[in-house]
Every structure is written in C-alpha cells, then in structure tokens.
Amino acid sequence: NAGVTQTPKFQVLKTGQSMTLQCAQDMNHEYMSWYRQDPGMGLRLIHYSVGAGITDQGEVPNGYNVSRSTTEDFPLRLLSAAPSQTSVYFCASNKAGRGTDTQYFGPGTRLTVL
Amino acid sequence: GEDVEQSLFLSVREGDSSVINCTYTDSSSTYLYWYKQEPGAGLQLLTYIFSNMDMKQDQRLTVLLNKKDKHLSLRIADTQTGDSAIYFCAEILNTDKLIFGTGTRLQVFP
C-alpha cells in the first residue's frame, strides 16, 4: 500500500491564481480530511469527507473547495489564491467513526502564495 | 470551546525524561491522542488514551490524563536524539472532528 499520497510537494502561486492539491489513499478508508499547518497554530481542519459524495466544512473552509467523487481521491481546490493561504497542507484518511482508529497523514504540500 | 493548548518548546538532555503538557477545554472528548511530526513529514500517531482512563503506558511513553483539570501529558523516558520532533496532542469531539493543539517542539541535546 502506498498509504496517503499528496501532490505536488511544493507549489508557488501568484495571488489570484487557482490550483488543485491532489490527495489519494489506497486503504479503502471512508473518512478523509484536509488540514493546514501554520507556525504556532497547530493543524486546523479545512474540509472533511465521511464517504464518497459527502463533504463538510471544518474550522477554516473559506477560500477552499473539495469534492469526493471516489473513495480514493479527495482534491482540495484553491479558487483564487491569497497570501494568507501560504501554509503546509496535509491530507489524512482513516476508517469512518471515532475512537482509536489511526488517522494516516500524507507527506504534505508546501504552498507559497506571492 | 474547542481549544487545545501546549507550550511551544521543550529542551532536554539525552537520557533524561521529557514531559510534554497539553490542556483542552471540551469535556465531551472521548479519546485524546499524541502525534509526532518529524521534519518534513506528516503526523504519526504515537499513542492515545480513552477518557475514562487516567494513565496508559506504552514502552517508553506514559500518558497521564487528569479529566477534572482537562490536562493531558506525555512522558518520554530515556529521551533520545531521535525523539526530537514536534509533538501534537489532539482531542476528538462528538462530531468526529479531531482538534489539534499548537504543537510542542522537543529538542534533545547530547
């Protein structure tokens, strides 16, 4: 299993550009999430999905869109990039439900918006 | 509230014990977690504790939970240079959301 994969690893955008961060998992997990990590602020949940066709907002959803057309893929779209979106983005997946189920994280995408 | 707070830095000598502290505010948390993030990598689950427990030991790791004070700690015995990383505590809410703390950067020096 490749686990959770993210592409690209690094990206530089100009203000106003759009792009899609890709996330895929091959563990047949139902639950997938996107976080952003900023210094001194830990990880903040952007959007999450509890299964194909179902998405919901996290703490900081503004400026981001997601879709979940398959179990494997959960892309994150930046509609019009802003410097405040400069961050490291992590995708994670786990089996549905609460509890001891481990959340597996991808290696991250470091995004800089100029 | 959904705040999870940690001190930002901890520096210890190799071989000593490290204690990383965390406070949370949501009393409905069912599980609390400790994650480790090494440089340039994603987060890796280290250990977890159910809210009706007050202690859990897993090899060099000891988790203590004081539910009355909403305080969680992670003790690493015999700290090694390979333990240098950022450690995040996290709580899971009834909505299945995982709320992370700000992270504590542990620096181990020889």
The mean pLDDT of B74-79, rounded to a whole number, is: 97
Which of B37-72 are b and which e, b meaning 16 or more Cβ less than 10 Å from the residue's Cβ? beeeebbebbbbbeeeeeeeeeeeebbbbeeeebeb
Closest-CA distance of chain A to residue B78, Å: 26
Distance of CA A25 to the CA centre of its chain: 12
Give the pLDDT of residue A96. Answer: 66
Q: Which residue of A has its CA nearest to B96?
A: A98
User: Please, what are the averages of pLDDT over each run of 10 residues along chain A (114 residues)?
Assistant: 90 97 94 89 88 92 96 96 96 73 86 96
Give the pLDDT of residue A104. Answer: 86
Contact A100 B101 (CB under 8 A): no
Give the pLDDT of residue B91. Answer: 86
Within an 8 Å CB–CB cutoff, is residue A33 touching chain B? yes
Q: Which of residues 95-114 of A touch B (CB under 8 A)?
A: 97-100, 102-103, 105-108
Give the pLDDT of residue A1. Answer: 72
pLDDT category at B8 given cuts 50, 70, 90 is confident
